[in-house]
Structure 1
């Protein structure tokens, strides 16, 4: 091959290579433009900070905010775009010492439904920057306070009858030669021992309902049977107190649940109504089906509950009227048990009350899917009675509980 031909061939090859390179490069450029660009590492980090469940602040060496998330504002660590003074001071100490530290960032004045206990950790990031990460420990603090109160209350409630029994036993020994005194003290010992036994029984029941023990298997329960059994338990106490309990007619309603627990809950509501009603006043029970729930309402014309106490009366051992509660011999656990029985059945307990007028406690349990009977509105006048007809102030018969629109849903139980 001649020299000119060789040169021409080499030149053609070079041109072809350049053309191929150009086409490949153009193809890659076009492909990169068509492929969506992902977020950078910095953008991902910022997203992480802003979506964190912890309150996060990043401060510079002067204590100025560089970055923070919405959670930090919810916890009260940032106001008017300025970091909490305690966080800034801790950040200064970390910059100087280079060692992470913890700081209490709890609100100085607790807001309603706001955080109560906030603990932050301050760590150095270098170059004078620090990060403050804060967690809300309010729930743990509340649980610990509840635990302490519960232990204190249980200790007090157990100590009272135990101490009384010991003193009364000594009195019996001293009066051994006096039969009348022995009988009198013996009756008191019986009352205190009964109270002690009831308290222990209710503590065990409450422990089971709160998850310490597996609940029994749920079965189809006839509500009319529950009402009859609850009336049977409370009839003697009602007669002794001069209280007439009226009921509406049988409903034919049923729920899926545990009959023993439901009877216990309704008995507690009836016991509560009898204990806090004056002699001769009426108590009524009504049943109805409303929006897929079986409602069993217990209405009394008793002393009522102040609105300030209505959110707390379902708490364990809480008593709105402590002096009267001691007189009735209640344990302070009955309505807490009602609340947990309702919750474990997927229902709730509602309360309407007015001081001097009376109260209505409504146990609401989801109806059994195959229930076909039952009323869907307020029941008619009471027809069956656990005693004589219960008159209202107007002299008629109790026909229905307080209307549902006036009832208040609570997170707990009822009267102490």
Structure 2
């Protein structure tokens, strides 16, 4: 390591703060005090810190020479072929002339949004009293940008979805006021208002549930949950919906399987899957719920003989407010949040949700949750081949 690099690295220690510097010096002293150990210099410690940092670091002088940089600076595009990005050099020139700290965007302007990489760079003098060197720090803000884009989309979608039932209720209320002398018309519009209010209430409830599942609130302590009781309760909740749609929901016999989880959330997830199957199935067609073990996970599969889902839509059905058939979803009062909730329930239980579907044939949604075994049960399962391995 050259003298200049040692000086620059010492300057970097001053930038990151006295507390970190004190910690590094303690490491160096503790390493050198042990008998038989190789002495570790401050320069070596700082060199390793800079080299392995998740932040891109580069130092440039007034001759446009890159004196020091780490691999992360190259990964983020701050340095290319040992030359600093031209946008960063323009800023570095300003700092060489006048002591200041400047932030700039180094992201690719042609790849903004969800798929592009967002790089933020902060530049300032390496030493307060020495104008010869500028230190540049590059940060990968891609995840933050994606989250912000998702938040904006979510707010826009929620605003749009809430506006629909609220607007409908306003028009229906106006029609009610104009029909006070006609009991039949009042009854008709009153039922429509009730339907829209019910839909609005469901949407608000599901938005609250989704917010909790995405980390707004701490997950409750997981208990041992009987899978058969989850299936039974979900079937009871959807019985009226199935009856009104003239659909019979069949299920296999009890299994005694158990999982670690929150029963109310698992019931909600399975209820959403069954209601989704009913909503997208023609009258009189069957829907089935089955239980099996797959690679140490309890698989709860909901199968319908409905319209099916095209390949291009299969990865999107778990997005918030995405609907394969918007007209049918409106007619059934769907909120577009049910499958998104299922996805997050599965994730919060260290599980997953899978989909098999073919247009014109039907769909199978499978909720997979790690199984809970008592010691004797676990030995028995290991001795037997797992059931349901060949099911779709």
- The two structures share one fold, judged by TM-score above 0.5: yes
> Per-residue deviation at 1:264?
0.9
Write the distance in 2 (CA, Å) between the matches of 1:78 and 1:203.
Answer: 44
Q: Which residue of 1 aligns with 2:387?
A: 377
**Alpha-carbon spacing, 1:46–1:218, altered in 2? closer, same or farther (3 Å):** closer
Checking the alignment, whether the CA contact within 8 Å between 1:218 and 1:258 is kept in structure 2 is yes
The secondary structure found in structure 2 opposite 1:151 is helix
**Alpha-carbon spacing, 1:56–1:305, altered in 2? closer, same or farther (3 Å):** farther
Write the distance in 1 (CA, Å) between the matches of 2:308 and 2:72.
Answer: 42
The secondary structure found in structure 1 opposite 2:234 is helix
Largest Rg, 1 or 2:
1
Which residues in structure 2 correspond to 1:283-302 (within 5 Å)?
283-302=287-306
- TM-score by length of structure 2 reads 0.80
> Per-residue deviation at 1:39?
4.3
Which residues in structure 2 correspond to 1:284-363 (within 5 Å)?
284-363=288-367
Q: Deviations over 1:240-283 (max 9, x none)?
A: 22333222222121122222221111010011111122333332
Checking the alignment, whether the CA contact within 8 Å between 2:214 and 2:344 is kept in structure 1 is yes
**Residues 1:90 and 2:100 are matched in the alignment:** no
The secondary structure found in structure 1 opposite 2:124 is strand
Checking the alignment, whether the CA contact within 8 Å between 1:254 and 1:367 is kept in structure 2 is yes
Checking the alignment, whether the CA contact within 8 Å between 2:57 and 2:69 is kept in structure 1 is yes
Write the distance in 2 (CA, Å) between the matches of 1:203 and 1:318.
Answer: 14
The secondary structure found in structure 2 opposite 1:308 is helix
Matching residue within 135, 150, 159 for 2:154: 150
Matching residue within 215, 222, 233 for 1:218: 222
Q: Deviations over 1:104-156 (max 9, x none)?
A: 11123439997632110112234633221011122222222222222222222
Matching residue within 188, 194, 197 for 1:184: 188
Checking the alignment, whether the CA contact within 8 Å between 1:298 and 1:401 is kept in structure 2 is no
The secondary structure found in structure 2 opposite 1:120 is strand
The secondary structure found in structure 2 opposite 1:128 is strand
> Per-residue deviation at 1:363?
0.8
Write the distance in 2 (CA, Å) between the matches of 1:168 and 1:81.
Answer: 68
Which residues in structure 2 correspond to 1:91-170 (within 5 Å)?
91-110=92-111, 116-125=117-126, 126=130, 128-170=132-174
Q: Deviations over 1:131-190 (max 9, x none)?
A: 210111222222222222222222222222122122212211211222221121122112
**Residues 1:202 and 2:206 are matched in the alignment:** yes
Unaligned 5+ segments in structure 2 are: 1-34
> Per-residue deviation at 1:36?
5.8
**Residues 1:51 and 2:52 are matched in the alignment:** yes
Checking the alignment, whether the CA contact within 8 Å between 1:76 and 1:107 is kept in structure 2 is no
Write the distance in 1 (CA, Å) between the matches of 2:274 and 2:391.
Answer: 14
**Alpha-carbon spacing, 1:69–1:356, altered in 2? closer, same or farther (3 Å):** farther
Write the distance in 1 (CA, Å) between the matches of 2:247 and 2:114.
Answer: 41
Checking the alignment, whether the CA contact within 8 Å between 1:56 and 1:132 is kept in structure 2 is yes
**Alpha-carbon spacing, 1:175–1:115, altered in 2? closer, same or farther (3 Å):** closer
Unaligned 5+ segments in structure 1 are: 1-33, 380-399, 403-416
Checking the alignment, whether the CA contact within 8 Å between 1:313 and 1:320 is kept in structure 2 is yes
Write the distance in 2 (CA, Å) between the matches of 1:343 and 1:109.
Answer: 34
User: Mean alpha-carbon deviation: is it higher for 216-225 or for 250-259?
Assistant: 216-225
- TM-score by length of structure 1 reads 0.76
Checking the alignment, whether the CA contact within 8 Å between 2:58 and 2:69 is kept in structure 1 is yes
Checking the alignment, whether the CA contact within 8 Å between 1:115 and 1:136 is kept in structure 2 is no
**Alpha-carbon spacing, 1:79–1:306, altered in 2? closer, same or farther (3 Å):** farther
Write the distance in 2 (CA, Å) between the matches of 1:114 and 1:55.
Answer: 21
Q: Which residue of 2 aligns with 1:264?
A: 268
Write the distance in 2 (CA, Å) between the matches of 1:49 and 1:218.
Answer: 42
Checking the alignment, whether the CA contact within 8 Å between 1:255 and 1:368 is kept in structure 2 is yes
Write the distance in 2 (CA, Å) between the matches of 1:83 and 1:265.
Answer: 52
The secondary structure found in structure 1 opposite 2:387 is coil
Write the distance in 1 (CA, Å) between the matches of 2:217 and 2:37.
Answer: 55
Write the distance in 1 (CA, Å) between the matches of 2:249 and 2:82.
Answer: 63
> Per-residue deviation at 1:57?
1.5
